[in-house]
Amino acid sequence: MTTNEIENLAINVIKGISMDAPHAAKSGHQGTAMALAPLAHVLWSRVLTYDSANPLWPDRDRFVLSAGHASILLYSMLYLTGHGLTIEDIKEFRQWGSLTPGHPEAGHTAGVEVTTGPLGQGIANAVGMALAERNLRARFGENFCCHYTYFFCGDGDLAEGISHEAASFAGHQQLGRLIGVYDDNHISIDGPTELALSDNAVQRFESYGWQVIDLGESSEDLDAIEEAFLLAKSIEDKPSLIVLRTHIGSPSPDIDTPDVHGYSLKDEKITETKKRMGIPGDESFYCPEEVLDFYRAAGSKGSEARNDWEKRQGEDLENSEIWNACQANTGISGWQNHVPSWSVGDSVATRKASNACFQTLSEFVPGLVGGGADLTGNTGTTLKGLGVQSYECPEGRQIYFGVREHAMGAICNGLALHGGFIPVNGTFFVFADYMRGAVRLAALSNAKNIFVWSHDSVGVGEDGPTHQPVEHLSSLRSMPNLQLFRPADANETAAAWTIAIDTPGPTGLILTRQDVPVLKGTDDIEKISKGAYILSEPEHAPEVVIIGTGSEVSVAIEASEILDNQGINVRVVSMPSMGLFAQQDENYQSSVLPKETPTISIEAGSTFGWHQWSDTQIGIDRFGASAPGETVMENLGISATSLVAAVQDLLQR
């Protein structure tokens, strides 16, 4: 067979698998994968630099399928190019425990870079990966890092607001090694995209500062697609978007219909489509040896580049320690010895203590980068002396994200999943709602991302209910695999930072706007790592236990002193991380919170979830108010006076 014949057959094999796997599952999305088969073929066989034998090679090109519903396209390419998937894995598409779930999941399937499916997220992840590549290349040189980031997206991705945030940021940053393809197929689930969409994508991305390459009706012209990729790779000062008018479900009987966006092609239509393509209509998962050999050769041709890269690493010992620390997501030897500490009696807002940790540790944890969503100073995410990330200063580790919370979280997920970084991103806690989709995907994909959420309660004060988080902490506590800390003071904040850097997945730091006193006994990281611990113990057996978090721990201490003068023995427990405490064994939990001892909790937020740990809850189950922070706290019952009265009532009952 000629090369052209092999390539045409290979593309038809991809289209066949894209019909057969959803049909076997009786679920999935056939049409987009079929339409993009020529595009995927060109990328994986002619353009992408990778080594299928080593899918985690740090200097590989990155590929993000932002249109994650077309996952069978990605799985087909991973199977064909030899990333470890077998044809049996393809046949188990969307089944329990399979390596081919309904949407791509990072860390689950070799070759899948990020978890996609919630539309628009993958675009922002790709922006983060391109930012990561540029920063590492600037800091360590091309011997260590020199590659490209590609993504495929559709109209759904571009309709989601996060795509605007991410694309605007990427254009401003002039991320020249970021190359996207817009699958302009004019079809959505509801019908033609014209029902709800009349954007001019070319003009839109040009206004962001992107290089736009409009290929029009060239979705099956392999050479034109390759030339577009090569042109995009030659542009160093702009990200590129290739716009491709495709025909969803081509060449099936359902071409260009909303039905084929999902699972419309069944027995007869699949047979008919395969006949149109010239492959056996009665054979499912058809893949002749010559096609498999062709793709396996494409999958292994990057091994030489990988071997050369490994050789260069061995020759460049000067940067090795820092590079290795970045890749391991940790600090250089002894970094823990540089964590800041504060003296008992100091008065420090935990957001300011957090900034001191971020600034100090950035010298010893080289992967730390980040900033805020136009709230960099307010949230304590300022990094001084390390450069501001830009086209002119690509080595800069301070990132100004602008008012783009959702994209900020997703860009940082991309930074983390690229490797080499522990990204830090900050905004007011109330705006965690604006980035929740990215936070959830960080937890789902185990992205080591540090979310800094300051202004953590009604203590925000005069800004009022719109800026005072009440339900947010309870809500985020319910999210699996998200480690949350609401530290009592500066020293608990430092401990939270240490634990965050030692934790493989995402961490949220919930921090005060207002100053809080540094308390005695909050500097024991071993105790803090258990999520809750005894902070203050009476001389005699406790009659009541008060649990506090964040700024309310000092309120608990104040109330315990008042109660002590009344002859009531009070134990005070600080619970900076309810989630970590829940992971401890029952013996430890009982040693901190004895079942026979009445317990009361105090937290300036929703009481939802506290019934597991306390008999009585003091909290805020309403929205806040506009007034000075101390006034709002007092009027909503977050005070030592209210706590003392509640303890007395609890003991009487």
Residue ending a domain, choose from 517, 551, 573? 517
Residue ending a domain, choose from 305, 323, 352? 305
Q: Nearest 5°: phi and psi at 546?
A: -105, 125
Angle between helices 71-81 and 289-300 (to 10 degrees): 90
Low-confidence ranges of the chain (pLDDT < 70): none
Note whether 260 and 353 are same-domain residues: no
Note whether 160 and 282 are same-domain residues: yes
pLDDT tens by residue, 205-223? 999 999 999 999 999 999 9
Q: Give whole-number Cα distances, 538 to 182, 545, 546, in Å.
A: 66, 10, 12
Selection from 597, 573, 572 nearest residue 650 by Cα: 597
Query: Residue 543 class from Cβ within 10 Å (0-12 exposed, 13-18 middle, 19+ buried)?
Result: middle
Domain range for 542 is 527-652
Note whether 437 and 368 are same-domain residues: yes
Note whether 298 and 411 are same-domain residues: no
Q: What span, in angstroms and rounded, lies between the C-alpha atoms of 622 and 642? A: 17
Q: Is residue 522 part of a domain?
A: no
Please identify which residue in the block is written with the tokens 């736009």: 212
pLDDT tens by residue, 175-209? 999 999 999 999 999 999 999 999 999 999 999 99
What are 570's strand-pairing partners?
A: 544
Tokens of 77: 């390419």
Q: How far is CA 279 from the centre of its chain?
A: 41
Q: Give whole-number Cα distances, 498 to 155, 341, 383, 489, 507, in Å.
A: 42, 12, 18, 15, 11
Q: What is the CATH number of the domain that holds 378?
A: 3.40.50.970
Note whether 250 and 294 are same-domain residues: yes
**Catalytic pick from 113, 133, 405, 492?**
405
Q: Is residue 483 part of a domain?
A: yes
Is residue 405 annotated as part of the catalytic site, yes or no? yes
- Whether 128 contacts 412, CB under 8 Å: yes
Selection from 243, 235, 245 nearest residue 130 by Cα: 235
Q: Nearest 5°: phi and psi at 483?
A: -85, 125
Q: What span, in angstroms and rounded, lies between the C-alpha atoms of 511 and 488? A: 9
Q: What span, in angstroms and rounded, lies between the C-alpha atoms of 496 and 257? A: 52
Q: Are strands 570-574 and 533-536 parallel, antiparallel or unpaired?
A: antiparallel
Q: Which 3 state secondary structure label does DSSP give 64?
A: strand
Amino acid identity for residue 227 in this structure: E
Q: Is residue 315 part of a domain?
A: no
Note whether 448 and 556 are same-domain residues: no
- Whether 451 contacts 506, CB under 8 Å: yes
Q: Is residue 371 part of a domain?
A: yes
Residue ending a domain, choose from 305, 320, 351? 305
Q: Which 3 state secondary structure label does DSSP give 243?
A: strand
pLDDT tens by residue, 415-428? 999 999 999 999 99
Note whether 272 and 365 are same-domain residues: no
Q: Give whole-number Cα distances, 629 to 353, 461, 512, 604, 620, in Å.
A: 20, 4, 11, 11, 14
Q: What span, in angstroms and rounded, lies between the C-alpha atoms of 102 and 10? A: 23
Q: What proportions of the chain, in percent to the nearest 5, are helix, strand and coil?
A: 45, 15, 40
- Whether 278 contacts 272, CB under 8 Å: no
Tokens of 17: 């698998």
Note whether 213 and 151 are same-domain residues: yes
User: pTM value?
Assistant: 0.98
Q: What is the CATH number of the domain that holds 610?
A: 3.40.50.920
Q: Is residue 325 part of a domain?
A: no
Q: What is the pLDDT of residue 142?
A: 94
Q: What span, in angstroms and rounded, lies between the C-alpha atoms of 588 and 598? A: 17
Note whether 163 and 251 are same-domain residues: yes
Q: Is residue 123 part of a domain?
A: yes
Note whether 191 and 81 are same-domain residues: yes
Amino acid identity for residue 344 in this structure: V
Q: Is residue 377 part of a domain?
A: yes
For the chain, the domain total comes to 3
Q: How far is CA 179 from the centre of its chain?
A: 20
Q: Is residue 311 part of a domain?
A: no
Tokens of 259: 């039905």
Note whether 372 and 482 are same-domain residues: yes
Tokens of 262: 């999902």
Q: What span, in angstroms and rounded, lies between the C-alpha atoms of 472 and 605? A: 8
Radius of gyration of the chain (CA): 27
Note whether 148 and 259 are same-domain residues: yes
